[in-house]
Amino acid sequence: MSEKKELLSGICLGSFGVYVAFEALKLPYVSEFGPGPGFFPLWIGIGLTLLSLLLIVASLFASTAPENSKSQSRTAIGRALVGWSGLMLAIGLLHWLGFGLSLALLAVFLILALERRSPWVAISVAFGLALGFHAIFVLALGLSLPAGPWGF
């Protein structure tokens, strides 16, 4: 399992290294002032590719370890990705609803969908967080946070 993960990451990073090197080749390697903008990224791309090859080779020759009983289940990763999707949704709503409301909705989502607490707990926490953030960052520190149609 661990070797498969290493092989996969080696292939992904190797492809990324090749992409970086190819993109760097489109930039001038030398400019009239000396090394050009493509100089450094080209070597980074080459380094990434070579290191990825090493990782792939190491994963191919590694002895297969027994399946770890603690290996991450799909459910666990699924839960983390659901939480992350909630965060991305809240970020998408920042422009439309403002920071306070988006954070409150994120809190409600995480508490209801992932933690399965009662709606009252979710609403209380969401309200408290939105109010606390507004008091500390907007009122006390004077930071400008994304505001919705209601001005917060």
Q: Residue from 1, 25, 121, 131 that binds another protein (CB under 8 A)? A: 121
Contact residues for 10 (Cβ-Cβ < 8 A; gap 6+): 52, 53, 55, 56, 59
> Is residue 63 at the binding interface for another protein, with CB under 8 A as the rule?
no
Residues 101 and 130: beta-carbon distance below 8 Å = yes
DSSP 95-133: HHHHHHHHHHHHHHHIIIIIT---HHHHHHHHHHHHHHH
Q: Residue from 69, 144, 150, 151 that binds another protein (CB under 8 A)? A: 144
Q: Residue from 3, 18, 133, 147 that binds another protein (CB under 8 A)? A: 133
| Cα–Cα dist 58/47, whole Å | 16
Q: Residue from 116, 120, 139, 151 that binds another protein (CB under 8 A)? A: 116
Binding site for another protein (CB under 8 A): 2, 5-6, 8-9, 13, 16-17, 20, 23-24, 27-28, 31, 33-37, 39-41, 44-45, 47-48, 51-52, 54-55, 58, 72, 76-77, 79-80, 82-84, 87-88, 90-91, 94-95, 99, 103, 106-107, 110-111, 114-117, 121, 125-126, 128-129, 133, 136-137, 141, 143-146
